A and B are shown apart, each in its own frame.
Chain A
Amino acid sequence: MRPRQGLLGWLVTIGRYLAAGLVSAFILGPIVVIAYLAFAPEETVYLFPKPLAPADFAFSTETMSTFVTATGTLDALWTSIRVALLTLVLALVIGAPAGYALARHPFRGKDVYRLGIVATRAFPIVILAVPLITYYLRWGLDDTVWGVAFLHTAMALPTTVLVTSAVFIGVSEELEAAAMTMGCSRFGAFRRVALPLALPGLAASSIFTFVLSWNEVFGAAVLTLQNPTLPALVVVQLNQSPVPIRFAGGFFLLAPALIFMLIVRRYLFNLWGVKLK
């Protein structure tokens, strides 16, 4: 019995690693290919089979620079940055107080409220798009940075509220009470004690909001015409672009998301109770 059990154990272990490897490859594969071809000379993109060995790789920023200098790219980049920053500020200003209230004050129906917040994300934007653009046209918000930022704020708020509430739960109420017994008002205690301690978590939440806005395609494409954000531009224009430019565009969108993942990975895992060394 014993050797067979050992063998079975081995098989399970191997299977587990194999599955993990497959999942990783499934996600990493396209990223690697996009990055690789974004920085390859134009000929390589059309070559088949492609020279995969690093020795054969010819590094070139040609397609990348063509994409970046193309009409509209830098404007769209600037629009994206403004939309993302605006979204970040709006989401934090509206969401963090709600998160704080959720963390500190017990109230009837709190769990239902929590669930309700998450449920709003289940509502498809596709259905919202037509009425939204109708109202935006009426209010003159269509094709503006503010208009896109408002939509992105609405999309980001549920996460912001839940993440910031988790952050504030991590800051002991006793600390604020202590500050209040030593000359601080309610708000003073928040500002001098809770806020500094929550700052790393709030930063992580903000970066999350930033990337959400940065990557959002559908709403931005529907709501803008002359002033698209970068993803909206890429989606609309790349269909008509040569293949190498598509790779460049893909990488341009991908990079910030990857950098974000590396930075906030630790904070996000912390929220779910997993500690990474």
Chain B
Amino acid sequence: MRHLQVEALTKTYGDMNAVDDVTLEIEAQEFLVLLGPSGCGKSTLLRCIAGLEEIDAGTIRIGGADVTDRKPKDRNISMVFQNYAVFPHLTVAKNIAFGLERQKKGRQEIAERVRSAAELLHIEDLLHRQPNSLSGGQRQRVAVARAIAYDADLLLMDEPLSNLDALLRLEMRAELKRLVSEIKATVIYVTHDQTEALSMGDRVAVMERGRIVQLGAPIEIYNDPASTFVAGFIGNPPMNLLPGRVLAEGTGVEVAGEGRIGAVPPASKPGDQVTAGIRAENIAVADTSGTWSIPGRVFVVEPLGSHNIITVDAGGELIRVSVGADHAAVVGGDVYLTVPPEKVRWLS
């Protein structure tokens, strides 16, 4: 499998840019996730790459060849759809063989590819069933088996797990990730679920209003969000965003009423308005005040088994803090939050 280059791709509906000047490169065998809220253009971008949507500007190259003006069937891609798109009038085996027959593969090869794809997805027993007798999870497996059986350079997945129930989704997530690395496929995977994106992708492209606002390894995106949008979208809970002002001494920032954190953005002057982004797990809770602490009152405690999330009301700002499961926080109790300076991110 070879790589994909998308250059300055724009797709408009009426006067709205569904995909706005997107440039993107993917290495062979890479797993790239397009992540964003609904309506951000991620599915449209995927459909443009597949050739299912005509684009208004830009070029698309797959494996070095310019496929911009090619029909989907001539792009050497395969795709998994949100609603599975398993053909109801064909058996499971015929579904998986569908594309291979169009590719004019020999009988022997088709049988071999169908069998191995079915084995990888553990659906050997379903091969002669009709799709309407299958469960949603089984149909999903058929759809994935069909896509990987097809001889393609690029595997596109459009929210393939979003119609499964939570438990099944978790199971399929791990299985898909393993499967894709096993068959060494190059994948573009669209999702609105940030957990899915972080857990599966080699790289994640976060999209907002038709543009890629950040592209990087999951851990980079998690630790260093490029904007308040990314910070607020990624992570569970999302990053705390605290607007503040650089102190007169220039040694720290005043946030959340009387709170002070001992870090300043590079190249800032006293009095500058800034926004500090702090992850819930990077905040410590203390009972006594210090020079660099944020006083507040416990607003709500949410025990999650493995850890607790406590929400602290600090001068009107709600700050979420992740603490151990044994942490005894009392609703209404006074607390002081401290943040290691190196864990503070500055956002604009």
What is the bound-complex CA distance between A150 and B146, given in angstroms? Answer: 46
Q: B94: shortest Cβ distance to chain A, in Å? A: 11
A-chain residues with CB within 8 Å of residue B79 when the two chains form the complex: 177-178, 181
What is the bound-complex CA distance between A185 and B82, given in angstroms? Answer: 21
A182→B85 contact, CB < 8 A:
no
* CB within 8 Å of A: which B94-115 residues: 98-99, 102-103
Q: B188: shortest Cβ distance to chain A, in Å? A: 13
Tell me whether A203 is interfacial, beta carbon within 8 Å: no
Tell me whether A116 is interfacial, beta carbon within 8 Å: no
Contact partner of A181 among B77, B87, B89, CB < 8 A? B77
Tell me whether chain A's interface is mostly helix, strand or loop, or mixed: helix
A182→B99 contact, CB < 8 A:
yes
A196→B89 contact, CB < 8 A:
yes
Query: Which A-chain residue is minimally distant from B52 (CB atoms)?
Result: A177
What is the bound-complex CA distance between A184 and B146, given in angstroms? Answer: 14
B50→A181 contact, CB < 8 A:
yes
A182→B52 contact, CB < 8 A:
no
A185→B85 contact, CB < 8 A:
no
Question: In the complex, how many residues of chain B place their beta carbon closer than 8 angstroms to a beta carbon of chain A?
Answer: 24
Query: Which B-chain residue is minimally distant from A176 (CB atoms)?
Result: B85
Tell me whether B71 is interfacial, beta carbon within 8 Å: yes
What is the bound-complex CA distance between A179 and B82, given in angstroms? Answer: 15
B-chain residues with CB within 8 Å of residue A180 when the two chains form the complex: 51-52, 71-73
Q: Return the CB mask of A160-187 against B: 1 if under 8 Å, else 0.
A: 0000000000001011011111111110
Q: A87: shortest Cβ distance to chain B, in Å? A: 28
Tell me whether A253 is interfacial, beta carbon within 8 Å: no
Contact partner of A175 among B78, B87, B99, CB < 8 A? B87
Query: Which B-chain residue is minimally distant from A186 (CB atoms)?
Result: B71
What is the bound-complex CA distance between A175 and B143, given in angstroms? Answer: 11
Q: A83: shortest Cβ distance to chain B, in Å? A: 33
Tell me whether A193 is interfacial, beta carbon within 8 Å: yes
Query: Which A-chain residue is minimally distant from B150 (CB atoms)?
Result: A182
Query: Which B-chain residue is minimally distant from A196 (CB atoms)?
Result: B89
B83→A184 contact, CB < 8 A:
no
Tell me whether A68 is interfacial, beta carbon within 8 Å: no
What is the bound-complex CA distance between A180 and B71, given in angstroms? Answer: 8
A181→B83 contact, CB < 8 A:
no
B81→A174 contact, CB < 8 A:
yes
Could you name 16 residue pairs across A and B whose Cβ atoms are closer than 8 Å?
Answer: A172-B83, A174-B82, A177-B52, A178-B85, A178-B87, A179-B87, A180-B51, A180-B52, A180-B71, A181-B52, A183-B102, A183-B103, A183-B150, A186-B71, A197-B88, A197-B89
Beyond A177-B79, A178-B85: 12 further Cβ-contacts under 8 Å?
A172-B83, A174-B81, A174-B83, A177-B47, A177-B50, A177-B81, A179-B87, A180-B73, A181-B51, A181-B78, A183-B73, A197-B88
